Amino acid sequence: MDIKKLAEKYDDYIIEQRRYFHQRPELSFEEKETTQALKKQLEDMEIEVTTFDDYYGLVGMIRGGKKSGKTVMLRADIDALPIEEHADVPFASTNGKMHACGHDCHMAMLLGAVKILNEIKDELDGDVKILFQSAEESCYGAKYYVEKGILDDVDAVFGMHIWGTLDAPYFNLEAGGRMASCDNFKITVKGTSAHGSAPHLGHDAIVAAASMIMNLQTFVSRMNDPLNTLVLSIGTFKGGQRFNIIPNYVEMEGTIRTYSRELRKKMEANIKAIIENVANIFGCQVELEYDAFPNPVINEHKDLNRLAHDAAVKLYGEESLTTMPKLTGSEDFAYFMDKVPGFFGFLGCANEEIGACYSNHNDKFKVDETVLHRGSALYAQFAVDFLAEKSKNEGGNKQC
């Protein structure tokens, strides 16, 4: 089987699908039409499809001709962002939403991979499960599928992301930490109002909240090991009623990112201790709401790291690979990697000559579409190689 040639064969189809979905973006938990369109594509290929009554996205299954008993899952996310598009393309969105993170590309690449795998299914040493996942941008969309048990028969999972600051057509398939965890929090500070001319008669919630912010940042710079990446950001701050009133209420929201699972487990308690001590000093009350979302994405399975690397080299040579700094953005693909061994890679789409020079989530985000069939090829090659290796290691097909 020549997966590279098959991917080139479906290049027009892949680009056509990308443009179709790009023009019709839907936000997290709203991907009704997207799910229906994906379902039709899979059913037209006679792929077995499972949908969900209470959730968007879908699962497809390609049954291999050689029954090793192993299953690999390939994943693409399908939601868009609430961004008005200003990219100069003839197929731009006009509904005030935008596939500014490249999920339209992910859907198209995975559909291309399904075309390839379906064509060679009789040669597959096992089954390939396909997940088109809802609501990645929510930080927890993947959790639903894990709780539904779709990984119960899966031996490994593979995903990738198109990346706007990585040059086309390179892959980044490095081992180790690749994306950070994401925990979000809300702090509510309650003080006592008084006239601004007599602050000693009140308890200033804004001063207390400001001190909390400074102490939280000092925790990052002085209590955390500087070699252990930790980002703590306060993104909103709301408080006060009038210029001459000591404020009695502040609400602020923030996020925490790290690659350390161990540090992550301690952060809620660390934040709680800091803000409660500060509140006590200023005579205020404080409440913490803490939402733990995905773990960090870490490529920590040596066999899968090797398989991903070798799949790219088999297709396009060692020169197709490049390095890229790890990212403090997060990916809910981590929910799958917490359950089964997984690998997560990146495909560069930056090409200054065509104006594809903006980062993901930018309203002018563009991609070099010539790389998309490479993504399809890597999805397919990884699946083929994983199943073949597992079958070989376990003695291949056994007959009674």
Peptide bond into 294 cis (omega under 30): no
> The tokens of 178 are what?
């690749």
- Report the SS3 class of residue 364: coil
How many whole angstroms from its chain centre is CA 226?
Answer: 26
Count of beta carbons in the 10 Å neighbourhood of residue 315: 18
103 annotated to a ligand binding site:
yes
- First-last CA distance in the chain: 29
How far apart, in whole angstroms, are the C-alpha atoms of residue 294 and residue 338?
9
Strand partners, 351: 356
**Residue 272 has which token pair?**
């709680």
Helix axes 11-22, 103-119, angle to 10 degrees: 150
Q: Rounded to whole angstroms, how far apart are CA atoms 265 and 194?
A: 39
22 has binding-site annotation: no
Q: Element (H or E) spanning 299, and its range?
A: strand 297-299
Question: What's the rounded Cα separation, in Å, for the pair 52 and 145?
Answer: 10
Tokens matching residue 69:
């008993």
C-alpha distances (whole Å) from 333 to each of 73, 114, 139, 342 are 12, 20, 9, 9
Structure tokens at 316: 């396009």
C-alpha 60 chain-centroid distance: 20
CA within 13 Å, CB half, 207: 17
- Residue 309 annotated as binding? no
99 is annotated as contributing to ligand binding = no
Annotated binding site: 101, 103, 137, 161, 361
Binding residue ranges for Mn(2+): 101, 103, 137, 161, 361
